Structure 1
Amino acid sequence: MHTADATPAASAPSAPRLPRPRSGSAPRSGSAPRPGSAGPRFRLVATDLDGTLLRTDLTVSARTRAALALAGRSGARHLVVTGRPAASCREFLVAIGYEGLAVCGQGAQLYDASADRLLVSAALDLDLARAVVKRTEEELGGRPLELAVVTAAPENRFVVTPRFTDRVRPDWGLVGSREELWARPIEKVLMRHRELPDGRVAAAAALAGGDEVSVTHSEKGMIEVLPAGVDKALGLGRAAERMGFAPEDTIAFGDMPNDIPMLEWAGYGVAMGNAHPGLIAVADEVAPDHDEDGVAAVLERVYGPPDTLD
């Protein structure tokens, strides 16, 4: 992958977020505009990958592919907005014939999938990362964390300490001590504690990081520390601006707390049936589970039933 023109994410302005009134009650299924309704006809479909577009087996179903094609024939564009770095999501984009821009790395990267070219990438200062880890452990009463990092682009390699996970994948890097994590430039740090709940670790990291970093919860057992200001709303806003779309043009789908900024930015936010309660609380609608083609179910209602399914 080429990395020319890579620039710090903090240098790019974030598109304004669109405030939406909330009733305080649970989202209602089936509330998205239907074809021919007075509601907006969304021109941008923003989807997370894991737990949203991808099934548990990491595939995209024929029904979902057909629904995305239906949206495309209606004039809408599909934009992937994922926590995975570009190097990790490329195979999934290729599998569905994805073209154009994608937002990767929790908003830290803007990736041109058609050209296999990274347009924007943000790095996390090593000294700051190490200090935030230390302060987080102090907030947790001295309980040590298991750590991982994603190295800087274009490599974007996942490097872990020995007890970060029970199974280390062959393409990951394994270090003998945490000091080795800081041997090369990184884009983010991932924290987990084997006994403490994720919410407590995330809260401690947020207190430790203050306004120096961004902290998000991307999946079970994985709290991420990113450069300040980086989140999915930043990446989505940057990509939408380049593509000529505004928040009100956008319907967004996600499943975890790291998707909250994206759903709040978009004109209409959909949480998957398998979503974290924190995301459901801010969503306009709850779709079926990702293994039940929840994205497709909503898109078929918004854009009309597909002619045929593969």
Structure 2
Amino acid sequence: MTDDRWLLALDIDGTIIHEDGTLTDAVRDEVARVSGLGHEIMLATGRSVASTLPMLDQLSITPEYVVCSNGAITLKRDETAPLGYRREFVETFDPGPVLTKIRAHLAEASFAVEDEEGNFCYYGTFPVSAADLGSRAVPFEQLLAIEATRVVVISPDHDMEDFLSLVERMGLHKVSYAIGWTAWLDIAPDGVNKATGLERVRELLDVPRERIFAIGDGRNDVDMLTWAGEHGRGVAMGQAPDDVLAVASEVTASVHDDGLAVALRTFV
């Protein structure tokens, strides 16, 4: 990349779009403007491939790389691929031990496993937005045999504080995990997160650490914001939890006040 270009990594939910999926004109316009300046704008999300790619169309961007599934899958632009992107790097793990351990503590929870092809199998009840088209319900035991890029656990009966302390007491080892806004647990392969995926992309694009901008609002963004802020800019959305705000090098307005657009206006 040329000397003055930045690599900008954007989280999707709670950063680009509101909870109801709204994408404002202010955000869309700023993404277009900054992209037009020659900077590389990409996505770094916990979403699966299937639910990430439509966001590129909504923003009218075609980045070289896209980080999905909290860093477990990195896509590369490829015009010959069916959806314009191919899976370039995929990290997987055996979900059996962690699923068995969690179920012993959370018998009423719902569980899902995403494989390297993006198939989403679940046990229990999952919101339609979380379970992509093509997902299917399976017996719990079947989840244990899938080579996973991501495991999701939801336990609506728990309030956030109970859920946090319960997860802490479980002592989940040999995996990476992040807790969402609700009683929602995202589990990735050990040592894999948005930051590890983005560092790989940064090296491939030969962007200095000083010209990295990352922005997000969730606990699964902590590693990314810490990494970006060490030499560049790690920006937390205004509505982010305290533990996310604490690691950011900057804080912008909330998603309801177009915080992403506000942060992007600093690129001139």
TM-score (norm 1): 0.73
User: Is this contact kept in 2: 1:161–1:178, CA < 8 A?
Assistant: yes
Q: Find out whether 1:150 has 2:113 as its counterpart.
A: yes
Matches for 1:191-270 after TM superposition, within 5 Å:
191-205=153-167, 208=170, 210-266=172-228, 267-270=232-235
Distance change (3 Å), C-alpha of 1:97 and 1:165: closer
User: Is this contact kept in 2: 1:146–1:164, CA < 8 A?
Assistant: no
Q: Find out whether 1:272 has 2:237 as its counterpart.
A: yes
Distance change (3 Å), C-alpha of 1:118 and 1:199: farther
- Pairing partner for 1:76 from 36, 39, 42: 39
- Pairing partner for 1:109 from 73, 78, 100: 73
Q: Which moved more, 1:270-279 or 1:43-52?
A: 270-279
RMSD: 2.7
Name which one, 1 or 2, has greater alpha-carbon Rg. Answer: 1
1:281 aligns with 246
* Alpha-carbon distance in 2 for matches of 1:183, 1:287: 42
SS in 2 for 1:303: coil
1:124 aligns with 93
Unaligned runs of at least 5 residues, structure 1: 1-40, 138-142, 305-310
Offset from partner CA, 1:39-94 (integer Å, 9 cap, x none): xx771211100110123332432222221222223332112100012122111112
SS in 2 for 1:50: coil
Distance change (3 Å), C-alpha of 1:221 and 1:205: closer
User: Is this contact kept in 2: 1:147–1:189, CA < 8 A?
Assistant: no
* Alpha-carbon distance in 1 for matches of 2:168, 2:196: 18
Moved over 3 A (4+): 129-132, 163-170, 197-211
SS in 2 for 1:70: helix
How far residue 162 of structure 1 moved from its aligned partner, in angstroms, is 2.6
Higher relative contact order, chain-length normalized (CA < 8 Å, sep 6+): 1
Distance change (3 Å), C-alpha of 1:69 and 1:228: same
How far residue 189 of structure 1 moved from its aligned partner, in angstroms, is 1.6
Amino acid aligned to 1:107: G
How far residue 193 of structure 1 moved from its aligned partner, in angstroms, is 2.3
Amino acid aligned to 1:49: I
Amino acid aligned to 1:190: V
Unaligned runs of at least 5 residues, structure 2: 79-83
User: Is this contact kept in 2: 1:83–1:218, CA < 8 A?
Assistant: no
Offset from partner CA, 1:171-226 (integer Å, 9 cap, x none): 33223x42232353322221222333345434544554544111112342211121
Matches for 1:133-172 after TM superposition, within 5 Å:
133-134=102-103, 137=105, 143-154=106-117, 156-165=118-127, 171=133, 172=135
2:267 aligns with 303
Offset from partner CA, 1:118-170 (integer Å, 9 cap, x none): 101111214333344256x1xxxxx424132233122x233332345599868
User: Is this contact kept in 2: 1:93–1:113, CA < 8 A?
Assistant: no
SS in 2 for 1:295: helix
